[in-house]
């Protein structure tokens, strides 16, 4: 267990029960945030936000209505934890903004340095070799296909809600997640360091899914 912010980590651990968005993911995002922060960053905003950013993910993943947004719900849950831990209201508001704005399809744009770093760190952990591994963890958890050779535009029309949620997760697959979402991650990054790392990680994913298709087609 990371020694800093022990009480916050303790509360977050109770909520982080899903595989790809669990404690390991949170620790990686936390470490990426520490790597990207500088002397102008408020660590007491950024790091608690990193610890708590996915604490409502379980509720979203198990919501059949598609109405639960883990970023919005998570910000509210985080506020209660932070209040009990002794954080001031002004700090809590800044942390809530970071959490609300971290989601890929969030309606709230990150405007502070801390929110931009958290958003970038969370997105970087969704791509590259780690991103591939996480996609297949989720595919197994939700009984997705290993691979689907379908037209992405037709798939969106048939199986994607307006809010970006997949209607029937059993019809989804990692390569579709890559084509419809993760390819766009570098365009959603804010910091220069994240953009550099993001391009490298996306190059790996390009080669991985190209190889996967060739193997599935029996060409290799």
Can you give the pLDDT at residue 4? Answer: 63
Alpha helices (H) in 17-151, listed in sequence order: 23-36, 43-52, 57-61, 70-85, 89-101, 113-124, 128-141
| pLDDT computed for residue 36 by the predictor | 96
Kindly list the structural domains of the chain, giving each domain's residue range(s) and its CATH number in brackets, ordered by start.
Answer: 1-108 (1.10.3210.10), 126-220 (1.20.58.1910)
pLDDT tens-digit readout, 61-87: 787 777 888 999 999 999 999 999 999
Q: What is the pLDDT of residue 33?
A: 97
Which pLDDT score, from 0 to 100, does residue 45 have? 97
Q: Which residue(s) pair with 114 in the sheet?
A: none
Nearest CA-CA partner of 50 in 37, 68, 65, 64: 37
Averaged pLDDT, groups of 10, the chain, 220 residues long: 76 86 95 95 97 92 81 95 94 97 86 97 97 95 93 86 78 94 93 96 97 96
Q: Which residue has the tokens 């996915």?
A: 54
Q: How far apart are CA 45 and CA 91, in angstroms?
A: 6
């Amino acid at each position: 267990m990371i020694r800093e912010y022990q009480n916050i980590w303790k509360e977050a651990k109770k909520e982080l029960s899903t595989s790809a968005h669990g404690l390991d993911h949170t620790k990686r995002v936390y470490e990426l945030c520490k790597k990207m922060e500088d002397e102008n960053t408020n660590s007491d905003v950024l790091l608690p936000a990193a610890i708590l950013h996915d604490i409502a993910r379980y509720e979203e993943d198990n919501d059949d209505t598609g109405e639960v947004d883990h970023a919005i719900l998570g910000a509210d849950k985080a506020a209660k934890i932070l209040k009990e831990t002794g954080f001031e209201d002004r700090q809590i508001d800044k942390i809530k903004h970071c959490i609300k704005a971290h989601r890929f399809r969030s309606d709230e744009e990150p405007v502070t340095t801390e929110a931009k770093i958290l958003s970038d760190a969370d997105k970087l952990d969704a791509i590259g070799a780690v991103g591939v591994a996480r996609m297949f963890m989720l595919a197994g958890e939700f009984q997705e296909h290993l691979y689907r050779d379908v037209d992405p535009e037709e798939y969106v029309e048939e199986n994607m809600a307006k809010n970006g949620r997949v209607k029937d997760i059993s019809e989804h697959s990692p390569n579709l997640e890559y084509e419809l979402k993760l390819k766009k991650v570098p365009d959603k990054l804010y910091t220069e360091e994240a953009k550099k790392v993001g391009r490298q990680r996306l190059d790996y994913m390009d080669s991985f899914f190209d190889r996967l298709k060739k193997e599935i087609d029996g060409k290799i």
